[in-house]
Amino acid sequence: MALQIYNTLTKKKEEFTTLTPGKVKMYACGVTVYDESHIGHASQAIIFDVIRNYLEYSGYEVTYVRNFTDIDDKIIKKANETGKDALEISSHFIKRSQEDMALLKIRPATHEPRVSNHIPDIISFIEGLISKGHAYQAGGDVLFDISTFKEYGKLSKRKIDELINEDTGAKKNPGDFALWKGVKPGEPSWDSPWGKGRPGWHIECSVMAKKYLGETLDIHGGGMDLVFPHHENEIAQSEALHDKPFSRFWIHNGLIMVNRQKMSKSLGNFYTITRAAEKAPTDVIRFMILSCHYGSNIDFMESNLTTASKRVHYFYRTLSKISQLCSSVKETDSEDLLKDLNTSMEKEFRAAMDDDFSTAKVIAFLSETFSQINEFLDDKSIKPGRKIHSLNNFKTGLLKVTSVLNILNDEPEAFLKSFRTLYLKNNGIDEKEITDLINKRSDARKAKDFTLSDKIRDELADKNILVQDTPSGTEWDILFK
C-alpha cells in the first residue's frame, strides 16, 4: 500500500504522489522570531522532521524549506522597547531557535530563508499581482483583492461574504489583506515602487516557496492555526499569480495544549524548549509528541511527560540489556531465533507510516516488540551465545525505525546515565548521598539485617530513588511516580 496522506484541502486521505518522480518539494511555515521558541514550535518542527525523514526513507529526494519571519509587528515592538535593531533581535532568536532545534535532534531544513533577505523577490511578486489586477495600492499599502480570486476560502472552507473585519479602512473587501505595508514612524523599511515599507506577513511564504521550490509544491504544512488566514492567503497570492495549484498536499499538525487551552505566546501559557529540555531528555519530548497522531492536539501535562519518561526509560533499559549481553558473550549460533519478529518489523513500520504517518501505531508495535525482546532476553532455556545473532539482527532492523523517528538511537548506557543525572539535578539530590545509603544498605543485607535494609530502601524511595538488587549487585534508578 502506497503512502496515504490526509490532505486539508480535500479533507480526505489521498495517495501521495509527487510532481516530479522521486522528488518531494516540501515547505513548512517556521517561526516568527521575537522570542524563544516554545514546545509548540518544537512539536511542529519534530512532526515535519519525521515526515521528511520518512519520505527520504521511502526513497524520495526531499527539498525542505522552513522559513524564519524576521520582520513583523512583534519584532518591531520588541525592538522599540529594548532600543535594539529589529533585525538584530530576530537574528539572535533565529540562532536560539536553531540551537533549540538541534537540541531536539531536528535536522536543519534544506533551506531556512529569512524574509529580510528576499525583499526584491517580494516586490516583484507583488508587482506581478498588481499587473494581473489581483492587488491594488491604497495609500502606502498594497492590498490583495480577494474578490478577484474565485477560489478564495477553499482551504479553510470559508465564504468571502462571511468574512468579517472591523478594520476595513481602504479595503475593497473586508477580507483583503496587506501584501505591502507602508512605513510608520519607528519601523524598519525598504524602498519599493509604493514608497518605503515592509512586506505583509503572508507574502513571504508564497515568495520564498516559489524561489526555492517552484510554483507548485508537493507538500505545504504548518500548525492548524495557520489554515486561516495565513495558508488561505498564500494560496490566493500564488495561484492568482501563477494560475496553477500552489501545493498539492496540505498537512496541518495539531497544537500543544495546556489545561485544554492552546499553548501560545499571546496567551503566555507556554513552555519554552529550554524549559522543557530541563524537565526531560530530548527523546522523551520527541516520544511524547510522536505518541499520538500528528493531527491531534496534545496536552502538555506533567502526567503525559511522566508516562513518556517511563516508556522511553523502559525502551532504553531493554536496549541496554541487549548491548550488555552482546558485548559480554560470544556469538555461538547464526540462526535467527527472532526471525518472525525481525522480518515483520520493517513491514509493520512501513504499513503504519504509510497510513498518514501514524507514528502512534509505530510506537504501539514497538511496545509489543520490546515485550517480546525482553521475554527472549529472560529466556533461560536459550544459551546466551545463541541469542547474539538474533539480537544483532533486531538491532539492525530497529535502527531503521528509530532513525526515522529519531528516538531510541542514543547509546543506551549513556542515555540512562544522563537521564539519572538530569533527575538528580531537578530534585536537588547529590549522587554521593545515594551511593552512601546504598552501601549502608548492602552491608545490612550482608548481615541479614533486613529491617534496616528495608528502612534504607524506603528512605531512598522518599527521594524518588528506586533500589534494585541484581545478581551483579545493587543498582539504583529513577522512581517515576
Partner RNA sequence: GGCGCCGUACCCAAGUGGUAAGGGAGAGGUCUGCAAAACCUUUAUGCAUCGGUUCGAAUCCGUUCGGCGCCUCCA
CA distance 461 to 429: 13
Given 302, 375, 430, 462, the residue binding RNA (CB under 7 A) = 375
Given 118, 311, 350, 387, the residue binding RNA (CB under 7 A) = 311
Given 7, 32, 282, 390, the residue binding RNA (CB under 7 A) = 32
Which range in 34-42, 130-138, 278-286, 392-400 contacts RNA by CB under 7 A? Answer: 34-42
Residue with cell 513518556: 308
* Nearest of 37, 68, 480, 34 to residue 276 by alpha carbon: 37
Rounded to the nearest whole angstrom, what is the least distance from the CB of residue 368 to RNA in the complex?
5
Distant-in-sequence, close-in-space partners of 271: CB < 8 Å, separation ≥ 6: 38, 39, 258, 263, 300
Cβ-based neighbour number of residue 321 at 10 Å: 16
Rounded to the nearest whole angstrom, what is the least distance from the CB of residue 367 to RNA in the complex?
4
Pairing between strand 197-199 and 177-182? antiparallel
- In eight-state DSSP terms, residue 481 is -
CA distance 128 to 116: 20
Our finding on whether 57 is near RNA (CB under 7 A) is no
Q: How many residues does the chain have?
A: 481
Residue type, 87: L
* Nearest of 358, 227, 231 to residue 293 by alpha carbon: 358
Residue by residue, what is the 3-state secondary structure of 392-457? HHHHHHHHHHHHHHCCCCCCHHHHHHHHHHHHHHHCCCCHHHHHHHHHHHHHHHHCCCHHHHHHHH
CA distance 313 to 288: 13
Partners of 69 in the β-ladder: 32
* Nearest of 310, 317, 333, 414 to residue 373 by alpha carbon: 317
Our finding on whether 397 is near RNA (CB under 7 A) is no
Our finding on whether 113 is near RNA (CB under 7 A) is no
And the C-alpha cell for 337?
531465533
* Nearest of 307, 334, 333, 319 to residue 373 by alpha carbon: 319
Residues 312-331 that bind RNA (CB under 7 A): 314, 317-318
Rounded to the nearest whole angstrom, what is the least distance from the CB of residue 302 to RNA in the complex?
11
Rounded to the nearest whole angstrom, what is the least distance from the CB of residue 242 to RNA in the complex?
22
**CA 42 to each of CA 47, 255, 256, 272: distance values in angstroms, whole numbers, following the listed order:** 8, 11, 10, 9
Which range in 29-37, 107-115, 128-136, 187-195 contacts RNA by CB under 7 A? Answer: 29-37
Residues 68-97 that bind RNA (CB under 7 A): 69, 72-74
Our finding on whether 361 is near RNA (CB under 7 A) is yes
Rounded to the nearest whole angstrom, what is the least distance from the CB of residue 357 to RNA in the complex?
9
Rounded to the nearest whole angstrom, what is the least distance from the CB of residue 296 to RNA in the complex?
4
Given 172, 228, 409, 429, the residue binding RNA (CB under 7 A) = 228
- Contacts with RNA by CB under 7 A: the residue count is 88
Rounded to the nearest whole angstrom, what is the least distance from the CB of residue 364 to RNA in the complex?
3
Given 41, 114, 118, 171, the residue binding RNA (CB under 7 A) = 41
DSSP string, 34-96: SS--BHHHHHHHHHHHHHHHHHHHTT-EEEEEE-BB--SHHHHHHHHHHT--HHHHHHHHHHH
CA distance 311 to 477: 14
Our finding on whether 255 is near RNA (CB under 7 A) is yes
Of 75 and 240, CB closest to RNA = 75
Given 160, 224, 429, 434, the residue binding RNA (CB under 7 A) = 224
Our finding on whether 382 is near RNA (CB under 7 A) is no
Rounded to the nearest whole angstrom, what is the least distance from the CB of residue 167 to RNA in the complex?
8
Rounded to the nearest whole angstrom, what is the least distance from the CB of residue 20 to RNA in the complex?
26
Our finding on whether 182 is near RNA (CB under 7 A) is no
Which range in 6-14, 124-132, 339-347, 419-427 contacts RNA by CB under 7 A? Answer: 6-14
Rounded to the nearest whole angstrom, what is the least distance from the CB of residue 21 to RNA in the complex?
28
Our finding on whether 307 is near RNA (CB under 7 A) is yes
Residues 436-465 that bind RNA (CB under 7 A): 445, 450, 453-454
Which H helix or E strand runs over 354? helix 339-354
Our finding on whether 260 is near RNA (CB under 7 A) is yes
Of 20 and 296, CB closest to RNA = 296
Rounded to the nearest whole angstrom, what is the least distance from the CB of residue 22 to RNA in the complex?
27
Our finding on whether 472 is near RNA (CB under 7 A) is no
What SS3 state is found at 338? coil
Of 134 and 171, CB closest to RNA = 171
Angle at 286 between CA 280 and CA 289, to 5 degrees: 110
Residues 138-167 that bind RNA (CB under 7 A): 156-158, 162-165
Given 113, 197, 222, 281, the residue binding RNA (CB under 7 A) = 222
Given 197, 199, 229, 412, the residue binding RNA (CB under 7 A) = 229
Given 111, 154, 172, 262, the residue binding RNA (CB under 7 A) = 262
Rounded to the nearest whole angstrom, what is the least distance from the CB of residue 203 to RNA in the complex?
11
Using only C-alpha atoms, what is the Rg of the chain? 27
Distant-in-sequence, close-in-space partners of 297: CB < 8 Å, separation ≥ 6: 254, 255, 256, 257, 262
